[in-house]
Amino acid sequence: MNSVEELCALIGSRITWGPGEDASSLTPDTPLLEMGLVDSLAIMEIVAALDKEAGVTLPDTEIVAANFRSPKALWAAIESLAVEGRP
């Protein structure tokens, strides 16, 4: 995982889109929770995909609503893990 845009693609592939909506409309600032795009199941699917596809393991302490408000918020959490030396 090298960019917030790659993260947007991963998140977009885990969201159930409504009629007329698609993953290309997802931006780093999209309010995922406010728009109802993710729920607890989608969050766990995103966490699993990060681990399996990107080698990014989010500790349980990072699986909180604040980190899933937007792709940018989740990217910030991922970057902070990298700074701490965690994958």
Using the 8-state DSSP alphabet, how is residue 65 labeled? G
Handedness of CA 79, 43, 73, 32 (dihedral sign): positive
16-40 pLDDT tens trace: 888 888 888 899 999 999 999 999 9
pTM value surpassing 0.85: yes
Q: What is the mean pLDDT of residues 47-57?
A: 95
| pLDDT above 90 as % of the chain | 78
What tokens does 30 get?
Answer: 């999209």
| 76 close to 57: Cβ distance less than 8 angstroms | no
Which pLDDT score is estimated for 87?
A: 55
DSSP, collapsed to helix, strand or coil, labels residue 8 as helix
